[in-house]
Amino acid sequence: MSETTRRTVLAGAAGVTAAAVLAACGDDEQTPGGTNTTPPGNTGGNTGNTGTSGLAKKSDIPVGGGKVFEREEVVIVQPTEGDFKAYSAICTHQQCIVGSVSNGFIMCPCHQSRFAVATGEPAPGSMAQRKLDPKSIKTEGDTISLA
């Protein structure tokens, strides 16, 4: 019969503790296409409106703001009136889906990185160090679609 030593018990307890800590650390990360909680008062969200009707109407995108389309992994913004731009909705810090657009910034809910709507550049103090990748869009009449 083998004897359980104090060292064996302590090693097992350390392993269980390490596994619990690592599992808890992984919960704040999201993968592309994952779901995130949109903060109250957000101008983002996915309309689910795809296909020939486009992603959005120009009137859906506020000046200085924008809208996040999670399924398409794109965010469409209107930095100044009539100037529409699109960026990848994947944050360049740890690839979370950005959650909202407000006060001239695209916001990531995972680690609070902020990106300027006019350029996609990260704001000072953001965890993200690279700008959001630009995406091609086209406008036809009042409709905005991916190009």
For residue 99, tell me if it sits in a domain.
yes
Q: Is the pLDDT of residue 25 over 60?
A: no
For residue 62, tell me if it sits in a domain.
yes
For residue 32, tell me if it sits in a domain.
no
Q: How far apart are CA 55 and CA 47, in angstroms?
A: 8
Q: Tell me the sheet residues that pair with 66.
A: 77
Q: Is the pLDDT of residue 139 over 70?
A: yes
For residue 130, tell me if it sits in a domain.
yes
For residue 83, tell me if it sits in a domain.
yes
For residue 4, tell me if it sits in a domain.
no
The number of folded domains in the chain is 1
* pTM (two decimals): 0.65
For residue 49, tell me if it sits in a domain.
no
Backbone φ and ψ of 143, nearest 5°: -100, 135
For residue 10, tell me if it sits in a domain.
no
Give the range of the structural domain holding residue 89, as residue numbers without chain letter.
56-146
Cβ pair 76, 85 in contact under 8 A: yes
Q: How far apart are CA 132 and CA 75, in angstroms?
A: 10
41-89, pLDDT tens digit by residue?
334 443 344 444 689 999 999 999 999 999 999 999 999 999 999 999 9
pLDDT computed for residue 24 by the predictor: 37
CATH code, domain carrying 127: 2.102.10.10
